[in-house]
Amino acid sequence: MTDRSPPSTAKLHIWQQNLNSSMTAQSSLLNSTLAAHWDIVVIQEPYINFLRNTLASHRWHVLYPTQHYTHPQQRTRAITLVNSSLNTNSWKQITFPSSDVVIIQLTTPHSRCSILNIYNDGNKQDTLTALDTYLTQNINLIRPQITDHMLWLGDFNRHHPLWEEPRNRHLFNLPAAQPLIDLIADYDMQQLLPNGMPTLQALNTGNWTRPDNVFGTTNVADSIISCTTEPALRGPKTDHVPILLTLELDPPRHPEELRHNWKGVDWETFNEHLGTLLAPSPPITLATDAEFQTATLQLTQAITVWEM
């Protein structure tokens, strides 16, 4: 008996979440059904061990920031996981001079989509400054054609009335948010996560705020199927909830793979039919290599006939 790998659709599914550098939070996420439903996972503040490795599984390609190994003194605060079901010829990582940004560029049948995973320190502007400089010099690499897409997903650590609820006006810091606002305006980015939708519940006060966000070019906005949060899927040891984004984009995937579904086999029936198929070749003591090879062939043929 066989079953199929998760069905592919003409959609791109992206999970975004800050995991507070928690091994528990990341283990819980990876041990869920994540790989069965999500194509790309963008993580801010991932778990990194003393060897500077994160947690992952064979279901994912792990993309570290370009400077992860070349600048070990810097803390890595962004990683991107790419589902192994996506054709590796359909995406590539683009270098970026920071340990807080990971860029992946997907190639679909009709356009490219550059996905920027961004962590911005709450007390500094370093990442936003680096992003401004990089895009000024490399926008043709990120968006070679006007029809290409650009996404910014991340923990921006900025509170502004454009996305934060009015009741949190005590958190507003307009001068600190201005570099981000300028970048949004410079590249005509649209806010994809609805205004007022919180993404973090403070562990000490329980207050809901919005440090995380999603921005995209206008053509990305036109491709949105859904962009929302799911507090019920937050998981342990993190105060950030996941942002779930589904786009009408179809990156090439590997062909669906047939797998044996051993748990679904009725073994009593299997053994009964296998015995019937092997009846013409009753058990004998195998005294020679030739007899062993013949018996192996008969058993293999019987199992193959039964599977068919």
pLDDT at 238: 97
Select the more confidently predicted residue: 219 or 308.
219
Averaged over 53-66, what is the pLDDT?
97
Q: Residue 305: is its pLDDT beyond 80?
A: no
pLDDT at 308: 56
CB within 8 A of 302, min separation 6: which ones? Answer: 274, 277, 278
Confidence of residue 265 (pLDDT cuts 50, 70, 90): confident
Confidence of residue 47 (pLDDT cuts 50, 70, 90): very high
Domain segments of the chain as ranges? 7-247, 266-307
**Percent of the chain whose pLDDT exceeds 90:** 75
Instruction: Report the 10 Å Cβ neighbour count for 167.
Output: 11
Is the entire prediction scored with pTM above 0.85? no
pLDDT at 8: 44
pLDDT in tens, 122-158: 999 999 999 999 999 999 999 999 999 999 999 999 9
pLDDT in tens, 151-209: 999 999 999 999 999 999 999 999 999 999 999 999 999 999 999 999 999 999 999 99
Measured in whole angstroms, the distance separating CA 224 from the mean position of its chain's CA atoms is 17
Phi, psi for residue 289 in degrees, rounded to 5: -65, -40
- Residue 177 CA to residue 211 CA, distance in Å, equals 11
Question: 7-247 — its CATH code?
Answer: 3.60.10.10
pLDDT in tens, 74-130: 999 999 999 999 999 999 999 999 999 999 999 998 899 999 999 999 999 999 999
